[in-house]
Chain A
Amino acid sequence: MNVNHTGLHEWHVKHGAHMAPFAGYDMPLWYSSGAREEHLCVLTACGLFDTGHMSVLKITGPDSYGLLQKCFSRDLNCCTGNEKKPLSAGECTYGVFLSESDGGVIDDSIVCKVAPDVWLVVVNAGMGAVICRHLESYKNSFDVIITDLTELVGKIDIQGPLSGMVLRHILSEPDSVFEGLRYFRFKGSFDNDSSHSDGVRLLDGTPVMLSRTGYTGEFGFELFCGYRNTVKIWEALLAVGERYSIKTCGLGARDSLRTGAVLPLSHQDIGNWPFLNNPWTFALPYNTEKTGFTKEFIGRKALENASYNMFTCPFTGYDVRKVADGIVIDNAGDVIGTVLTCVTDTGIGRVGDTVYSITSPDKPEGFVPKGLSCGFLKISRMLPAGEMLMLKDGRREIQVSVVEDIRPARSARYPIEQMIT
Chain B
Amino acid sequence: MKDIDELNIPENKRYSDDHEWAGYTGDTIRVGISDYAQDQLGDIVFVELPQVGERFEKAQQFGVVESVKSVSDMLIPLSGEITRINTELEINPALVNESPYENGWMIEVKPDSNDDMENLMDADTYIKMLKGIT
Contact = CB atoms under 8 A, between A and B. Distances in A.
A16 B1 contact: yes
Interface stretch (B63-71, B79-87, B116-124): B63-71
Nearest to A16: B1
A327 B69 CA distance: 19
A324 B73 CA distance: 13
Interface in A299-346: 319-324, 343-344, 346
Contacts of B69: 29-30, 35, 252
A324 B71 contact: yes
B2 interface: yes
Interface in A12-64: 16-19, 29-30, 34-37, 39
A371 interface: yes
Given A36-B68, A256-B68, A320 B2 contact: no
B73 A395 contact: yes
The residue among B42, B45, B68 with the most chain A CB atoms within 10 A of its own CB is B68
Interface string B103-114: 000000000000
Given A29-B69, A252-B68, A322-B71, A36 B45 contact: yes
Main secondary structure of the interface of B (DSSP, over half): mixed
Contact of A395 (B2, B42, B67, B71): B71
B2 A16 contact: yes
Nearest to A253: B68
Contacts of B1: 16-19
23 contacts: A17-B1, A18-B42, A29-B69, A30-B69, A34-B42, A34-B43, A34-B68, A35-B42, A35-B67, A36-B43, A36-B45, A252-B68, A252-B69, A256-B68, A320-B66, A321-B66, A322-B71, A324-B71, A346-B45, A346-B68, A395-B64, A395-B71, A395-B73
Interface of B: 1-2, 39-40, 42-43, 45-46, 64, 66-71, 73, 97
4 nearest interchain CB pairs? A34-B43, A36-B43, A18-B1, A35-B68
